[in-house]
């Protein structure tokens, strides 16, 4: 699960990248400006995988709330 919170509403999309590739089940593409993007998803990850949280399709800068402007929770399921 991830959440991003900005100081103002923006018309931007968000997603997770796994090893540089978009994880489509994590993407949020709002039709109206929003100050909060949150999504939960499940996927298999290999040992050593890199995960990035990305805001994209944004003209300008995004200022995150401080503290707590972005969070990413990863849980291991199974053994």
Tell me the per-residue pLDDT of 48-71, one tens digit each, with 9 for 90 and over. Answer: 999 999 999 998 899 999 999 999
Q: Residue 9 falls within a domain, yes or no?
A: yes
pLDDT in tens, 12-48: 999 999 999 999 999 999 999 999 999 999 999 999 9
Query: How many domains, in total, are found in the chain?
Result: 1
Q: Residue 29 falls within a domain, yes or no?
A: yes
Model confidence, pTM: 0.90
Place of tokens 């999504």: 39
Per the prediction, the chain carries an average pLDDT of 95
Q: Residue 77 falls within a domain, yes or no?
A: no
Residue 34, pLDDT score: 97
Give me the domain span that covers residue 57: 2-72
Cβ-contact 53, 72 below 8 angstroms: yes
Q: Residue 47 falls within a domain, yes or no?
A: yes
Q: Residue 79 falls within a domain, yes or no?
A: no
Residue 10 vs residues 5, 25, 54, 55: alpha-carbon distances, Å: 10, 21, 14, 10
């Amino acid at each position: 699960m991830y959440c991003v919170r900005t100081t103002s509403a923006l018309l931007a999309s968000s997603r997770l990248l796994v090893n540089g590739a978009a994880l489509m089940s994590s993407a949020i593409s709002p039709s109206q400006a929003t100050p909060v993007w949150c999504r939960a998803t499940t996927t298999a990850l290999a040992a050593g995988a890199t995960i990035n949280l990305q805001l994209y399709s944004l003209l300008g800068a995004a200022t995150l709330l401080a503290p707590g402007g972005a969070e990413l929770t990863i849980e291991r399921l199974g053994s």
